[in-house]
Amino acid sequence: MGNKNLIITIEREYGSGGRIVGRKLAEELGLHFYDDEILKMASEKSAVGEEFFRLADEKAGNNLLHRLTGAKKADVFGKPSLKGDVTSPDNLFKFQAMVMRELAEQEPCVFVGRAAGYVLDQDEEIENLIRIFVYADRVRRVQRVMEVDCISEERAKKRIRKIENERKNYYKYFTGNDWKNMKNYDLPINTTRLGLDETAELIKEYVKLRGYMK
């Protein structure tokens, strides 16, 4: 018997408002919402300090240099190790992936980031998975980061470049796929055109069209 829980995953450009959309969607649909809560839960499961998970959160760092060029991916679906180099990026990701799969088995939920769409798409038991990519025009993202983080335009642009590069490398390192390849998602949405409330409404309509809710 397959897992019938509705699972929505959201990858997002920095400054696109994807996290806000995810939380709003979870509240309106009555789903559990998980973003960096995953880090605390993975820490508790592994007995590895939460700070290690936060340092590696959505970052591949120099480890990307050790991955051969091409569509290769980390072996992240085996059982994580409790001995040896338990704080290696691959092992930390295994713990996170384990937590996400367990949560998806237990309850309908929304996951933001951490390649959740890829992780859960590998689980053949999960039948009702919707993978969203939220993006926005660069000018709008810079404006939003300036407003939310209270920083200058120059700093906002630098922060966007840094975080976008980290997320891109992280996704490539663990999945072997390109983060912005829309073939990895069911529904890409530009929040510049719609706004955050309308984006959440569009996703709800998409969920209905897929037959996962009335």
Tens digits of per-residue pLDDT, 17-50? 999 999 999 999 999 999 988 888 888 878 778 7
**Token representation of residue 82:** 């409790």
> Which domains occur in the chain, in start order?
3-196 (3.40.50.300)
Residue 58 to residue 22: CA distance in whole angstroms = 17
Averaged over 97-126, what is the pLDDT? Answer: 91
pLDDT digits (tens, 9 = 90+) for 44-91: 878 778 778 787 777 765 554 444 444 456 665 677 766 767 778 888
- Percent of the chain having pLDDT more than 90? 58
What pLDDT, on a 0 to 100 scale, did the predictor assign at position 1?
Answer: 55
Residue 180 to residue 209: CA distance in whole angstroms = 24
Nearest to 196 by CA among 140, 156, 154: 140
